Amino acid sequence: MPFARRTRIIGTLALGLALASNAMPAAADAQETKPPATTVPLDRDVPRHQAINERARQGDVDLLFIGDSITEGWEGAGKEVWNQRYLPRKAMNAGIGGDLTQHVLWRLDHGNIDGLSPRLVVLMIGTNNFGADSPKDIAAGIQAIVEKLRMKLPSTKVLLLGVFPRGETPGDPLREKNVAVNGLVKKLGDEKMVHFLEINAKLLNSDGTQDREKMPDLVHLSPKGYEIWADAIEPTVADLLDETGVAFPELPKGSGTISKDAPRKFTATPSGLKYRILRKGEGAAPKGTSSVKVNYHGWLDDGKVFDSSYKRGQPISFRLNQVIKGWTEGMQLVSPGGMIELEIPAALGYGERGAGTAIGPNATLHFLVELLEVN
């Protein structure tokens, strides 16, 4: 064989061996870098998905909830709270029972948010991935959803909730996975456009066990559970929606005036009470055991007045430790001669039982109160 030809053959063989040797590590690298299933969109073209698309086409959405059956449950066990808290805020429910993170990723590309520009998205997803996926992969799926929301809705803020409690006891493997996932996704919050909030402690008993009164099947929420959820996120939701332009209440006949510098934004306390001082008073505010004399006007979310001392033309006196929790806390925030507006969640009001025929179960109460005297 001529030397030149043999050289070409040897060169070709060498090149082939080199390509083969390079190909094997490349295949291994591809296998190592294969994205977790939690981040790969998975078809979810079910009737509920189409219904969400239809709602999205109607537009006029300021607040969007995205998630699985726990979020969809705002239309079931959480319906009353939803109607009170979120319908007035132009809210839309994009929760579908059984959804994995990969289902949500698919839905976001297939119509669920097309044409929308909500001010805030509340996202809680991942519990259905607990059976097959590792905490790292579940967190990766949640991160992929957050990133897609930021890409598709660049002007929308995201309130990312930690996955709600799993595992009946603190040592349960599901609880350990729960803690690990939330610890990872917490890092996604930048306190600018993405805000992380975990409310799990409010859904558990004091010893860390799950509370079946709030989560009957240890996954889904009861009506009380939805009330707790709403109360727990309310201060953050109000802040992220920048609800600074809330109009002052209409003053009842016989009341004093609102100060020109009164804030339009409510302040929220850790208990969930919201308030704003409409007129500053003077002197020391009452204590939790003080007797006070007040004029007040109370109404529900729909504007219906349920009680008013102004209408009766007679102030009322009482001890602050003998009234609902919202009053006990709220009246300690204003001085004599001042006027305060209170928004009291059901947990600080009459709760699930309501009060007579005027105040139904789980009602949010609104009050305008003038503090006349403290004894």
Catalytic annotation, pick one of 49, 103, 195, 220: 220
Q: Is the pTM of this model over 0.85?
A: no
Label residue 169 exposed, middle or buried (CB < 10 Å: 0-12, 13-18, 19+).
exposed
Q: Give domain 267-374's CATH number out of 3.40.190.10, 3.10.50.40, 3.10.580.10, 3.30.200.20.
A: 3.10.50.40
Q: What is the 3-state secondary structure (H, E, C) of 70-116?
A: HHHHHHCCCHHHHHHHCHHHCEEEEECCCCCHHHHHHHHCCCCCCCC
From 69, 271, 290, 291, active-site residue: 69
Question: Do 320 and 307 touch, CB atoms closer than 8 A?
Answer: no
CB 320 within 8 A of CB 289: yes
Alpha helices in 161-248 (DSSP H): 173-185, 223-240
Ordered per-residue pLDDT tens for the chain, 375 residues = 333 333 333 333 233 323 333 443 444 444 568 999 999 999 999 999 999 999 999 999 999 999 999 999 999 999 999 998 898 889 999 999 999 999 999 999 999 999 999 999 999 999 999 999 999 999 999 999 999 999 999 999 999 999 999 999 999 999 999 999 999 999 999 989 999 999 999 999 999 999 999 999 999 999 999 999 998 998 899 889 876 567 789 999 999 999 988 887 888 898 999 999 999 999 999 999 999 999 999 999 888 999 999 999 999 999 999 999 999 999 999 999 999 999 999 999 999 999 989 999 999 999 999 999 999
Give me the residue spans of the domains in the chain.
Answer: 39-240, 267-374
Place of tokens 């040797």: 21
Q: Which CATH number fits domain 39-240: 3.40.50.1110, 1.20.810.10, 3.30.300.30, 3.40.250.10?
A: 3.40.50.1110
Which token pair is 57? 């086409």
Backbone angles phi, psi at 344, to 5 degrees: -110, 115
CA–CA dist 262, 54 (Å, integer): 41
Active site (annotated) includes residue 309: no
Q: Which of 21, 60, 155, 217 is catalytic?
A: 217
Residue 318 half-sphere exposure, CB side, CA atoms within 13 Å? 13
DSSP code at position 339: E
Tell me how far apart the 2 most distant CA atoms of the chain are, in Å: 120
Answer yes or no: 69 catalytic: yes
- CA distances to 144, 149, 161, 244 from 155, in Å: 18, 10, 19, 18
CA distances from 145 to 107, 188, 271 (A): 10, 11, 31
